[in-house]
Amino acid sequence: MTESRGLAPLHPLAWLVWLVGAAGVAGALGNPVYQLPLLGVLTAVYLAGHADAPWARAFPLFLRLGVVVLVLRTVLAAAGGDAAPPVLFRLPQVRLPGGVAALGGPVSAGALAGGFRNGLTVLLLVAAFGAFNACVSPSRLLRLVPGFLFEAGLVVTVALAFVPQTVIGLNRTLEAQRLRGHRLRRLRDLGPLLLPLLAGGLERALTLAEAMEARGYGRHRPGAGQGRGAALLGLAGLIAALLGAFALLAGNAAWSARALLGAGAVVVAAAAAAGSRRSGRTRHRQERWRRSDSAVATAAVAALGIVLAARLAGSGDLGWTGAAHLGAPGFAWLPALALFGLAAPVAAGSPR
Amino acid sequence: MIRVERLSFAYPGSGGPALRDVDLHIGEGELVLVVGASGSGKSTLLRCLNGLVPHFSGGTFAGRVQVAGRDTRTTQPRDLADVVGLVFQDPEAQSVAEATSDEIAFAMENLELPPAVMRRRLEEVLDLLHLAPLRERQLASLSGGERQRVAIAAVLAAQPSVLLLDEPTSQLDPQGAEEVLGALERLVHELGLTVVLAEHRLERVAGFADRVLRMEAGRLVGDGPPREVLGDSPLAPPVTALGRLAGWAPLPLTVREARRQAGPLRQRLRPAPAPARRRAHGRPLLEIHGLRVAYPGREALRGVDLEVAGGEVVALMGRNGAGKTTLLRASMGLTPASGGRVRLGGRPVAGRRTSELALEAGFVPQDPGAALFAETVEREVAFTARNHRLPRSAVAATLEDLGLQDLQERHPRDLSAGQRLLVALAAVLVAGPRLLLLDEPTRGLDAPSKQRLVELLAGRRAAGGAVVLATHDVELAARIADRVALLAEGELVASGPVDQVLSESAVFSPQVARVLGGPWLTVAEVREALEATA
């Protein structure tokens, strides 16, 4: 039995690079002219690459979640009362005490369009993550987690097992209810099932954690001490690096942000080195980096680079600057074609 | 190898201690069997031996446990993983990887074995447990028995010096169980592995054990050679009970030992009439003709015919993955047939709602506890009654029928496996179906609970109902079934009266039939015959 259906299995790191590329592109786009084809690309990747396993079946669920967010964002943006003309129609207005904020009132085409494209961005992010999730098995991903972060690995594994187990539990319970003469009429009928389901899922998750512990997960090398210090240090470094990166991305180019990012990265690296010396894991299955992996990673990085460059240069109207007054979105060929770089997993995966 | 001194333990927030004052010393290379009713502390004792109790469970811990010289109070379970391996009860709940070989390699990776050593050991355990053809299969696609073997292999691969197993054969067919136990015995003899295993199906394991520990309410009440501890115990396997009845000394523990002494008993039984077998005469409740069911990539059932009439109990037997569960599910319309006909209560199943079929047949799936969701036992049963618009009195009557009145305010999760099965039965029986379909009902059940189940099924049969039960439990089938349908690879390979099918089968014959041959299946039948001729 193969891991994925038609595709040569790509290295999880290649998938990770792909995810960064796809999420970055999705985040940079605000123009449905590009957003909709990207949704098509992500769906194609899922269809071609998803594995035949319980964890791989969540994509449709992710997609539905994204659609719900899209609708909500559009409705909320409309109700938010950003009354730039042209106004399409008026909703009854509710003014909050103090007159600071209001709901309802005039609904402009611009607000609707803005909400829609924001929602579309979320949908794309969710779809990218869903496709990634369906194509790479969680256990392969987990192998990328360095040994010293074993607590994190434990939590992730248990959480990953929790979701499909709970879905299995739900199906079992629903079947048991049908067998006992029940017909599911309303979604509300699911309410009373929630608690026992969560309890059952937690119970199984705990058993799994026990089983992992009993099989030596997170062992320390003899005489290496507990090494909590290194883990804490690593965590602190990670937070510092993230804060720095965030500040930089938010447009704060101050030296302090760069310094924070740099120092954080150094601390993380040091903690990782110390931690890996202390507790290690050997690998039964060596993941090999193939030419197709390089191709997928390069294509994803190139797509992200071109889209970001186009966005910064203001070419191709990637952000749909005309959304506020409902001007027709602009279009340029280069960034549009770059999107299809994200479809590389489909092409790279010639059947074995 | 294992030293337990004055060990007492109580789970956090529990009423009483789970273990009281246990003193125990187990030497290297011993194969120790732990027996006792559900809730007597067997699993807790095993968990103490690898440090999960108290490190994972919390609770009040007194006394001392030492394994290979390491004190479990100061050593984490993960740091004991190179000397102790624990195989949990439910193989599905303990797998961390997707493919068989990754699952087996997991412990070795944690122990930082070099890849070359890992590959060699992987091959060894794959061979030892006959898993080689399954090495790259997804665990989710394996049958229960296959997963159980993978779970054992995953622990064995770390080459621990102590192996703890919690009901290792509960999911296995007789042949699979023998393979696993045979492998264990080999490891004990050849590598000096110390094995401690908790098990309810003593007929499978009694012959393998060097020593038996008997637990009762958290206390160690028996400790000694199997013959001594099991000899006067109601838990004894059928051959031992037969030996007691016939006055054999020494008491046999295995079929082989019993056969050597069985000559005179066979003589005495020769003039006795064969035990009476019932013939069903009611109208057919379930009719299956040419049933085919296909899953993606394989055919689970290939043209099965089966009729079940009122007043009979049919045991559906066969190896793991032979199609037993599929047959039951197709009978309820839960799994669509790709060919053939299924009629329930005289009308085709296809196109009818499950809720409507539930009035004709009650189906209790494997692991009945997982299908319970209400706050109390009473509400669990009331749920069904409400769906079928039955009066409240039906709930009370069903609870009383099954002897659950005293438990009706309890939460189903807090009950023993046997009690949970009764609740699941009550929850389908309240609708008044005449046919009962049970999937592996005795998994994890202790002897008294099994006895209760046998009585209950006999009662339904006497009232004109029918039961189809898919089971690996040969002794259960011998005690209750009138007919046996034997499945192999999705085909019906034998079907007929229980004594014929079971005594002709090499694998699925009960211990008494192996000793005495012919029509004798259970100790009770032999006792009756002896009383009649005396």
Instruction: Encode pLDDT of B45-95 as tens digits.
Output: 999 999 998 998 888 999 999 999 999 999 999 899 999 999 988 887 788
β-partners of residue B247 are none
Residue A139: list chain B partners with CB under 8 A: 96-98, 102
Q: Are strands B347-348 and B339-344 parallel, antiparallel or unpaired?
A: antiparallel
Q: Of B173-182, B231-240, B334-343, where does the model show the most confidence?
A: B334-343
Structure tokens at A217: 């997960």
Residue A35 to residues A78, A231, B274: CA-CA distances in angstroms? 21, 40, 80
Task: Check whether residue A91 and residue A201 sit in a common domain.
Answer: no
Interface contact A281-B77, CB threshold 8 A = no
Task: Check whether residue A166 and residue A207 sit in a common domain.
Answer: yes
Mean pLDDT for B494-509 is 90
Q: Which of A172, A195, A284, A287 to substitute to test the interface with B, most B CBs within 10 Å?
A: A284
Read off φ and ψ for residue B419, nearest 5 degrees: -70, -35
Task: Check whether residue A39 and residue A74 sit in a common domain.
Answer: yes
The whole-angstrom separation of Cα A125 and Cα A137 is 19
The one-letter amino acid code at B2 reads: I
* Domain end point (choices A197, A218, A239): A218
The whole-angstrom separation of Cα A32 and Cα A26 is 11
Interface contact A208-B372, CB threshold 8 A = no
Task: Check whether residue A117 and residue A63 sit in a common domain.
Answer: yes
Find, in chain A, the residue whose alpha carbon is nearest to that of B118. A284
Of B94, B72, B96, give the one whose Cα is nearest residue B84.
B72
Interface contact A218-B362, CB threshold 8 A = no
The whole-angstrom separation of Cα B299 and Cα A20 is 42
Task: Check whether residue A103 and residue A155 sit in a common domain.
Answer: no
Position B227 pLDDT exceeds 60: yes
* Domain end point (choices A259, A282, A305): A282
Calculate how close chain B gets to A347, using CA atoms only, in Å: 26
pLDDT score of A5: 39
* Domain end point (choices A282, A300, A325): A282
Residue A296 lies in a domain: yes
Interface contact A213-B387, CB threshold 8 A = no
Residue B158: list chain A partners with CB under 8 A: 215-216
Task: Check whether residue A209 and residue A241 sit in a common domain.
Answer: no
> How many domains, in total, are found in chain A?
3
Interface contact A175-B371, CB threshold 8 A = yes
3-state secondary structure string across B40-94:
CCHHHHHHHHCCHHHHCCCCEEEEEEEECCEECCCCCHHHHCCCEEEECCCHHHH
Higher-confidence residue: A54 or B34? B34
Position A90 pLDDT exceeds 50: yes
Task: Check whether residue A69 and residue A93 sit in a common domain.
Answer: yes
Residue A199: list chain B partners with CB under 8 A: 413
Position B106 pLDDT exceeds 70: yes
- Global confidence as pTM: 0.78
Given a contact cutoff of 8 angstroms between Cβ atoms, the answer to whether B121 and B153 are in contact is no
Find, in chain B, the residue whose alpha carbon is nearest to that of A200. B370
Residue A4 lies in a domain: no
Position B3 pLDDT exceeds 60: yes
Residue B326 binned pLDDT confidence (cut-offs 50, 70, 90):
very high
pLDDT score of B138: 82
User: Over chain B, what is the mean pLDDT?
Assistant: 90
Q: Residues A103-147: pLDDT tens digits?
A: 666 777 777 888 888 889 889 998 998 898 888 877 777 777 666
Find, in chain B, the residue whose alpha carbon is nearest to that of A181. B355
Task: Check whether residue A103 and residue A57 sit in a common domain.
Answer: yes
The answer to which of A189-203, B185-199, B311-325, B463-477 has the lowest mean pLDDT is A189-203
Residue A218: list chain B partners with CB under 8 A: 78, 110
Residue A182: list chain B partners with CB under 8 A: 355, 383-384, 387
pLDDT score of A351: 38
Interface contact A1-B140, CB threshold 8 A = no
Interface contact B81-A139, CB threshold 8 A = no
Residue that has been written with the tokens 């987690």 in this structure = A145
Any residues with CB less than 8 A from the CB of A183 and at least 6 apart, and which? Answer: B353, B355, B387
Task: Check whether residue A270 and residue A212 sit in a common domain.
Answer: no
Residue A208 binned pLDDT confidence (cut-offs 50, 70, 90):
confident
Residue B414 binned pLDDT confidence (cut-offs 50, 70, 90):
confident
Task: Check whether residue A180 and residue A208 sit in a common domain.
Answer: yes
Residue A176: list chain B partners with CB under 8 A: 365, 371-373
Residue A70 lies in a domain: yes
Interface contact A282-B413, CB threshold 8 A = no
Residue A213 lies in a domain: yes
pLDDT score of A334: 86
Mean pLDDT for B272-281 is 79
Position A83 pLDDT exceeds 60: no
Higher-confidence residue: B434 or A86? B434
pLDDT score of A4: 39
Interface contact A193-B413, CB threshold 8 A = no
Mean pLDDT for B261-275 is 88
pLDDT score of B21: 95
The whole-angstrom separation of Cα B381 and Cα B404 is 11
Interface contact B383-A284, CB threshold 8 A = no
The answer to which of A93-102, A328-337, B96-105 has the lowest mean pLDDT is A93-102
Find, in chain B, the residue whose alpha carbon is nearest to that of A153. B96
Q: How far is CA A323 from its chain centroid?
A: 26
Residue A2 lies in a domain: no
Task: Check whether residue A309 and residue A330 sit in a common domain.
Answer: yes
Interface contact B371-A210, CB threshold 8 A = no
- Find the domain containing A262 and state its range: 224-282
pLDDT score of A151: 66
Residue A257 lies in a domain: yes
Q: Residues B280-320: pLDDT tens digits?
A: 777 899 999 999 999 877 889 999 999 999 999 999 999 88
Given a contact cutoff of 8 angstroms between Cβ atoms, the answer to whether A29 and A124 are in contact is yes
Position A154 pLDDT exceeds 80: no
Task: Check whether residue A252 and residue A268 sit in a common domain.
Answer: yes
Residue A215: list chain B partners with CB under 8 A: 78, 81, 85, 96, 106-107, 110, 154-155, 158
Residue A45 lies in a domain: yes
Higher-confidence residue: B469 or A201? B469
Say whether the ipTM exceeds 0.90. Answer: no
Interface contact B122-A284, CB threshold 8 A = yes
Mean pLDDT for B469-479 is 93
Residue A5 lies in a domain: no
